[in-house]
Amino acid sequence: MHVLIAAVSSALKPTGICRHATNLARSLAGTSEITKITLAVGSWQVEYFRTAFKLNDSKITVLPCKLHYPALNRNLWYLFELPVLAKVIAADVVHLSFPAPLFRCRMPCRVVATIHDLYPYDEPMNFSASKLMFNRWLLRMCLRNTDALTCVSDYTLERLGAIAPPSVMKKAQRIYNCVDFVPSISRAPSVSGLASRPFLLAVAQHRVHKNLHLLLRAFAESRSQQVLPKDCGLVFVGSRGPETRCLQELIEELRLGQNVFLLSIVTDAELDWLYRNALLLVAPSRIEGFCLPVVEALQRRCRVVCSDIPVLREVGESACEYFDLNAPDPVGQLTCHMGLALGKPQPTAPHPERFSARNVAASHIKLYCRILELEPQRRTTALHSWHRRRHAE
């Protein structure tokens, strides 16, 4: 089976969506049922997909798509160019790595879309008024026109049920993100002084719902109360966004310039090193669809402090230290729980098999077989027959 993963996005640096597309490609490449994976990305994305993620599997082809960067051009690419690409390369399944506009009648094959979150409904502050309406329309268009939908958590599936009609929910299911890739090497980022000092870690885009300003204030308070070592640093890994300027101003206001490191791009090997060497990963978000960094950190036995929201309870279970965002003093709450977490032994990831490449790939292949009307118990022979029939047409 040939799977075309569409990952053309606005991201100029790696994001969680990019990592999802990468991990999906890797997990599928490890199976006998999948013969080829084409990962379609924008020309501005090629560099980091090839270098940061080290996609070396012979089954995976990173395909640069020539189009102009603005949002209108990207949406038109999904509507008109993606169907042409799917036909030219004879893809059996197109997998949208996030909701994108789609004319079902133009697609020459089955289409699956991954739903990470319902931000256009749950986090409207992320959008201007016009963009909010457009993104809601785009999401509904995708929900209506795909053959199947995969939600990355039970929480996201439940939220989808609150906005989508029964006809959409019949084709939706939960398939967790794949989170078991471990690089062959672990390497410290090229940041002066970081390798020789203790540090906290946050992996998140600079967006308001990530609550990074709350972490900055708790970090300052923890230093003043000596909850953290005197020379402790704070490392932010994540692409710039609407909150970047506010974060920089707060760093200056709190006089933390020598202690906070803003990294917009790291390789898998560098991210692995950060997880393994951080005192804590802190995830103070008020809403998430899954939260890859929490699971990635736990798999590397990094202590995690995170907000007490349903999806983080789902993926982190009892391995995390949870704090109450709605407490009268959330900064004090976070400071207190960071101290508590530092006094506990390193955690063990709960039920890591939920996110293993083998299980995630098996779930996707079962789904692909169903929408291709193949019998899963005889899928290897059936897939070969399906492939021969398509190419004979």
Fold matches, 2-178+356-392 and 194-342: yes
Do 287 and 159 form a contact (C-beta atoms < 8 A)? no
Strand, helix or coil for residue 122: helix
| Mean pLDDT of all residues belonging to the chain | 92
**Domain 2-178+356-392, what fold?**
Rossmann fold (3.40.50)
Cross-strand pairs, 263: 237
Structure tokens at 10: 């606005």
For the stretch 133-186, pLDDT in tens is 999 999 999 999 999 999 999 999 999 999 999 999 999 999 999 997 666 688
**Spans of all domains in the chain:** 2-178+356-392, 194-342
CATH class of 194-342: alpha beta
Between the CA atoms of 31, 48, 177 and 147, what dihedral angle is there, to the nearest 10 degrees?
-80
**Sheet of strand 321-323, all strands in order from the earlier edge strand to the far edge:** 260-263, 233-237, 199-203, 280-283, 304-307, 321-323
Q: Which DSSP helix (H) or strand (E) runs through 261?
A: strand 260-263
Q: Which DSSP helix (H) or strand (E) runs through 157?
A: helix 154-163
For the stretch 22-44, pLDDT in tens is 999 999 999 999 999 999 999 99
| pLDDT score, position 390 | 54
Predicted structure pTM score: 0.90
